[in-house]
A and B are shown apart, each in its own frame.
Chain A
Amino acid sequence: MGRKILFVTTDQQRYDSLGCNGGRVARTPVIDRLASEGVNYRRAHPQSVVCMPSRSTMITGQHVSTHGVWMNGVPLPDDAPSIADDLRRAGYRTALIGKAHFEPFLDPFLRFTENQLAISGEHQRMVEGRLHRGFEHMESASHGGMGNFHYARWLTENHPEAVAMYYRVLDMSLQVNAAGGGDTGAPQVLYNEIPREWYHTEWVAERTMSWLDSLPADADWFCWMSFPDPHHPWDPPAGERHRVNWRDLDLPAGYPTDVARREAVLDAKPRHWRLWYDGDFVSNFEAPASWVPRTLTDDQVREIEALVHIENELIDEALGRVLARVAERGWADDLDVVFTTDHGELQGDFGLLFKGPYHVDSLMRLPLIWRPAPSAGVAPTEVTAPVGLVSLASTFAHIAGVAQPDYVEAPRLPETPAEAVELGHERVLTEWDSVLFGKILRLRTICRDGWVATACLPGTVHDGTEGELYDLANDPLQQTNLWNDPAHAARRSDLLADLWDHLPRTVEPRRECDAPV
C-alpha cells in the first residue's frame, strides 16, 4: 500500500485567515495542527488570482500562459493534462468532491461535461478515451443552491425549501449581484436561514466521507475535497452567527480608515486601481459591476470579515470530521494532506472587496500547508522561499511515487528550506489577462528575494510604462509603490528581466471566453 492524498482546497481564502498564519479571530485548530505537524509555506502564490485559471494550474501543473485558461469562462480543454489521470493510471482511486470549475458554470446550451454530469446525476464520463479530468468520481458544488451542480440537485430533491434561502449570486443581467444585506447592507451578504447540516460545506465533507467509505481498506487514493467557501456570497447559516459578532471586530490592517490616506495609496498605484475604486472602469466579471468600491463603509468591512471567519470555522470543523473518518479507516499514518486555496480576497484592503487585477498579498499570498504522511518521517518546518500552486501536480506525483510528468512546469514543493534551494524555488509568477468587450487589462508579476514587481502590459488603461514594486519586508501591506522610485530602478529592472526570462510563452491563438464565469 502507498500513501493516500487528501487535497483540500477552499475558494478565495486569505493567508491571514488561519490561526497558524497569524489569524486571531477564526478558530482553525484542525488546520493549525496540520501546519504544526507539516510544512507551512510562508510565501505561496497562485498563478492567477481568479478561480478557473488557478484551478487549471493546480490540475495541470502549468502556468496560465501554457494551459491557456486566461480568465473565468475560458474552458480548460478536454485533452489538457491532469495529474489525477497520472495517479489513476498508477493505481490510485481518484475523486473530486466540491467545486471543480475547470469549465464555465453558466452553460445554457449544456456544452460542458462537468455540468452534464451534475444534471444527469452521473459521477464520471469517458471523454476522448479517458476519464474526464482523470477522476473516477466527481460530485460538484458551488456557492449556492442553484445551477448545474450535484449539490444543487441534492438540495432541490431533498430540501427544496432551502434553495431560495441562499443569496442569489447573479442578478437578472447575469452580473455578480450587488444587492446588499445583513446589518450593514454590504454587497453579497445575507443571513441565510439554511440549517447548518444542509449547507454546502457540510455536504462536501459528507460526500467525501461517503466516497472514502466506498473504498477497500487496501486502496491508494487521491481525493480533492474542494470547499466553495469562503468565496462570496457571504451567507453562512444564520444559526452560526453567534460565533463572531462583527461589532466586536477591529478593522483589518490593510484597510486605511482615513479616506484621504486610502485614496493617496490607490493613486500611487497603476491607474486601474483608482478607476475601479471610483466606479469608472470595470474590466471583468469578478465583482459586481454596479457596486462602487468607494461606497464601502467601515461597518460593512467588519460584517463581511465576521461572516468569512464563520465560514472558515465551519470548513475547519468539516475537515476535522473527514480526518477522523480517515483515522477510523486505519489510514492516518499513510495520509498526506495538502491544504490551500485558489486565490485570496481583498476583504477591505485598500477600501476594496472581491478580486481583480490587483497583484498584492490580499489576493496572491495564500495559505499552503503540506502535512506529509507520518509514515514518511518528514520533520515539521516552515518554508519562506516563494512557491506556487504550479508545484502541486508534481508534488502529488512525488507523494505517489510516480515520475514527474513531462507536462508540468515547476518542481515539487520542498520539504525543507534547504530543499527549496536545491529544487530551484527562487521565484513565483502570476498572470492576469482580462478582455471584456474591448476593455483589455494585462499584468505580469514576479515575486522573488522579498520583492514583488508587476508590469502592466499595454491595454485599454495602460501604455506599458506603469507597474508596481513592493518591498515585502518593509511594506507588508503593499501601500508604498516604489515602481517609479529612482533608488529602486535597478532592482525593478532586474526583477522584470527575470520575469521575462522565466515566463512561459503564451499559447496561441488565445482561447475563447465562453461565459462570464
Chain B
Amino acid sequence: MGTVRRHVFIAASAERVWELVGSPERLHEWFPVVASDVEGSTRWVALASGLRFEEEIVTLDHDLRRFQYRIINNPIIKSHLGTVDVIPDGPRRCVVVYSTDLDPEAMALMIGGAAGDGLERLRRTFEGDH
C-alpha cells in the first residue's frame, strides 16, 4: 500500500473553496482531468491519456468539508481510498489536504503528482496567478 499526501494553503475561506472541491462533478475545473460526470454515488473521470476511472463516492460531508472516493473496477488498482479535506485556518484562509492510499503503491505516486498539480490550480483559481 502506498500513501501520499499533498496540501496547499489558500487565501480564501474554507466555505468558498469547499463550494468547488465539494462538488464532485466539477473535478475537471481544478484537477488535471478532462471530464468528470456523476451519477448517484458513482463518478466517471476521463484522463487526457484516454484512460477512464470509475469511482465510488464514499463520503461527501458538507459539515466536515471532507470528500472521499475509491477507484473501482480497475484491472490495475487493487484497493484505493482518496480523501480531500478543506480545513479552515481563520476566516479568510484554509488548507486543502489531498491524501491517497493505494495498492499498487506505484500508482499512488502518480495520483499524488496529479493532486499536486490540482491543488496548485485550485490555489490560482482563488488567489490569481501569483
Q: Is the CB of A73 within 8 A of B104?
A: no
With A172-B76, A512-B6, A514-B113 in contact, do A110 and B107 touch (Cβ < 8 Å)?
no
Q: How far is the CA of A516 from the CA of B106 in the complex (A)?
A: 6
Q: How far is the CA of A206 from the CA of B113 in the complex (A)?
A: 35
* A–B Cβ pairs within 8 angstroms, 8 of them: A104-B110, A108-B110, A109-B32, A110-B47, A172-B104, A175-B106, A513-B113, A514-B110
A119 at the interface (CB under 8 A from B): yes
Known contacts A104-B110, A106-B106, A174-B107; 4 additional CB pairs below 8 A are A106-B110, A109-B48, A110-B47, A111-B48
Chain A residues near B75: list those with CB within 8 A: 172
Q: Is the CB of B104 within 8 A of A174?
A: yes
Cβ distance A45 to chain B, nearest Cβ, rounded Å: 28
Q: Is the CB of B114 within 8 A of A109?
A: yes
Chain A residues near B108: list those with CB within 8 A: 437
B33 at the interface (CB under 8 A from A): yes
Q: Mark B71-111, 1 if CB is under 8 A from A, else 0.
A: 00001100000000000000000000000000011111110
Q: How far is the CA of A148 from the CA of B110 in the complex (A)?
A: 15
A-side interface mostly: loop
Chain A residues near B109: list those with CB within 8 A: 73, 513-516
Residues of A within 8 A of B (CB): 73, 104, 106-111, 119, 148, 172-175, 285, 437, 512-516
The 9 residue pairs across chains A and B that have the minimum distance between CB atoms: A514-B113, A110-B48, A174-B106, A173-B104, A516-B106, A110-B49, A109-B114, A109-B32, A515-B110
Q: Which of B3, B47, B76, B106 contacts A109 (CB under 8 A)?
A: B47
Chain B residues near A516: list those with CB within 8 A: 106, 109
Chain B residues near A110: list those with CB within 8 A: 47-49
Cβ distance A102 to chain B, nearest Cβ, rounded Å: 15
Count how many chain B residues have C-beta atoms less than 8 Å from C-beta atoms of the other chain: 23
Residues of B within 8 A of A (CB): 2-3, 6, 32-33, 47-49, 51, 75-76, 104-110, 112-114, 116-117
Cβ distance A255 to chain B, nearest Cβ, rounded Å: 30
Q: Is the CB of B117 within 8 A of A111?
A: yes
Cβ distance A336 to chain B, nearest Cβ, rounded Å: 38
Q: Which residue of A lies closest to B76 (CB)?
A: A172
Cβ distance B121 to chain A, nearest Cβ, rounded Å: 11
Q: Is the CB of A175 within 8 A of B117?
A: no
Q: Is the CB of A174 within 8 A of B76?
A: yes
Q: How far is the CA of A285 from the CA of B3 in the complex (A)?
A: 16
Q: Is the CB of A111 within 8 A of B114?
A: yes
Q: How far is the CA of A111 from the CA of B33 in the complex (A)?
A: 10
Q: Which residue of B lies closest to A285 (CB)?
A: B106
Chain A residues near B3: list those with CB within 8 A: 437
Q: Is the CB of A514 within 8 A of B112?
A: yes
Q: How far is the CA of A175 from the CA of B104 in the complex (A)?
A: 9
Q: How far is the CA of A107 from the CA of B32 in the complex (A)?
A: 11
Chain B residues near A285: list those with CB within 8 A: 106
Q: How far is the CA of A435 from the CA of B47 in the complex (A)?
A: 27
Q: Which residue of B lies closest to A516 (CB)?
A: B106
Chain B residues near A73: list those with CB within 8 A: 109
Q: Is the CB of B48 within 8 A of A437?
A: no
Q: Which residue of B lies closest to A171 (CB)?
A: B104
With A173-B104, A174-B106 in contact, do A111 and B76 touch (Cβ < 8 Å)?
no
Q: Is the CB of A109 within 8 A of B116?
A: no
Chain B residues near A174: list those with CB within 8 A: 76, 104, 106-107
Q: Which residue of B lies closest to A73 (CB)?
A: B109
Chain A residues near B2: list those with CB within 8 A: 437
Q: How far is the CA of A285 from the CA of B107 in the complex (A)?
A: 12
Cβ distance B27 to chain A, nearest Cβ, rounded Å: 12
Q: Is the CB of B110 within 8 A of A107?
A: yes
Q: Is the CB of B33 within 8 A of A109?
A: yes
Q: How far is the CA of A175 from the CA of B33 in the complex (A)?
A: 24
Q: Which of A119, A175, A437, A515 contacts B113 (CB under 8 A)?
A: A515
Cβ distance A288 to chain B, nearest Cβ, rounded Å: 12
Chain B residues near A173: list those with CB within 8 A: 76, 104-106
Chain A residues near B33: list those with CB within 8 A: 109
Q: Is the CB of B113 within 8 A of A111?
A: yes
Q: Is the CB of A119 within 8 A of B49?
A: yes
